[in-house]
């Protein structure tokens, strides 16, 4: 997989999962309010890095989506030397596969793990409660995903571009996510309705300003 493929495959599939979970959850209101306020209620305003950095609730939505449904369900490492883990002795060159999706959804680390609650990644007191390495969206340690910052920028921009102009509804609210898992989990199909928001009415005052 090239870096370009990694960018498209990871970002696009995470984006589909965001659309799915946001459509199923009323917290969407908070996301829309944040987007509206950061872009000054202007759906055509140019997107800047400063704007994207202010989209903290949007970032929490992306993280909560990836906690419940990470595109990378597993992370692997070879042992470079013999070690003892959980009382078992392991020789070197053993392939360890960590089920990150299981860790992300483990009730030992997350209260009501099946519930979509972006506040887990938004409220400082909730963030403080998190156990180390209990959220592995981008892996961890020296081999942590080097594309994580650009991925977050791309996802936030995509979410802002769509939600500031359209209401998004799933074509079938009963349909489960249609996915296929190999190295990453792909969203095979997601049918949505994009409903353009009404254009902002032009006020008298705006017209005067335009003519001047
Ligand atoms: C939502 C988007 C993305 C997610 C969820 C994601 C997730 C991951 C995960 C879980 C790993 C394994 C980390 C580990 O073993 O500890 C990884 C590795 C990697 N990712 Fe990403 N990734 C994303 C986007 C990107 C993008 C946009 C790029 C490149 C522009 C990228 C490039 C890479 C590379 C090169 C590695 C291998 C790093 C190494 O083995 O040293 N990723 N990613």
For residue 13, which phi and psi values (nearest 5 degrees)? -70, -40
Residues 6+ apart with CB under 8 A from 127: 120, 121
Name the residue with the closest Cα to ligand 1, atom 39.
143
Q: Say how many Å lie between the CA of residue 2 and the centre of ligand 1.
A: 11
Closest ligand 1 atom, residue 72 Cα: 10
Does ligand 1 have an atom closer than 6 angstroms to the CB of 175? Answer: no
- Establish if 92 belongs to a structural domain: no
- Over its length of 212 residues, how does the chain's per-residue pLDDT go in tens digits? 565 665 678 999 999 999 999 999 988 899 999 999 999 999 999 999 999 999 999 999 999 999 999 999 999 999 999 999 889 999 999 999 999 999 999 999 999 999 999 999 999 999 999 999 999 999 999 999 999 999 999 999 999 999 999 999 999 999 999 999 888 899 999 999 999 987 554 444 433 322 22
CA–CA separation, 95 vs 12, rounded Å?
Answer: 29
Q: Count the neighbouring beta carbons within 10 Å of the beta carbon of residue 52.
A: 19
CA distance 20 to 59: 16
Cα–Cα distance between 73 and 185 in angstroms, integer?
Answer: 7
* Predicted TM-score (pTM) of this structure: 0.91
- Has 145 been labeled as part of a binding site? yes
Domain span including residue 174: 3-71+100-196
Assigned domain for 208 exists: no
How many domains, the chain?
Answer: 1
- Residue 95 within any structural domain of the chain: no
Alpha helices in 39-147 (DSSP H): 49-54, 56-68, 100-104, 124-129
């Amino acid at each position: 997989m090239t870096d370009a493929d990694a960018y498209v495959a990871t970002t696009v599939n995470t984006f589909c999962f965001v659309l799915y979970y946001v459509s199923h959850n009323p917290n969407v209101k908070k996301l829309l309010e944040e987007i509206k306020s950061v872009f000054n209620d202007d759906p055509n305003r140019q997107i800047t890095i400063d704007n994207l950095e202010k989209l903290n609730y949007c970032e929490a939505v992306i993280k909560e989506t990836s906690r419940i449904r990470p595109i990378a369900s597993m992370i692997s490492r070879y042992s470079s030397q013999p070690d003892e883990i959980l009382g078992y002795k392991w020789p070197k060159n053993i392939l360890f596969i960590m089920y990150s999706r299981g860790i992300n959804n483990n009730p030992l680390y997350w209260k009501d793990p099946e519930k979509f609650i972006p506040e887990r990644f938004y409220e400082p007191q909730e963030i403080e409660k998190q156990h180390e390495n209990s959220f592995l969206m981008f892996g961890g340690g020296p081999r942590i995903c080097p594309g994580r910052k650009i991925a977050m920028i791309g996802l936030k921009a995509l979410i802002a571009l769509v939600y500031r102009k359209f209401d998004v509804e799933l074509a079938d609210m009963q349909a489960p996510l249609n996915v296929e898992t190999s190295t990453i989990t792909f969203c095979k199909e997601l049918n949505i309705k994009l409903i353009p928001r009404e254009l902002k009415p032009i006020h008298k005052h705006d017209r005067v300003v335009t003519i001047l």
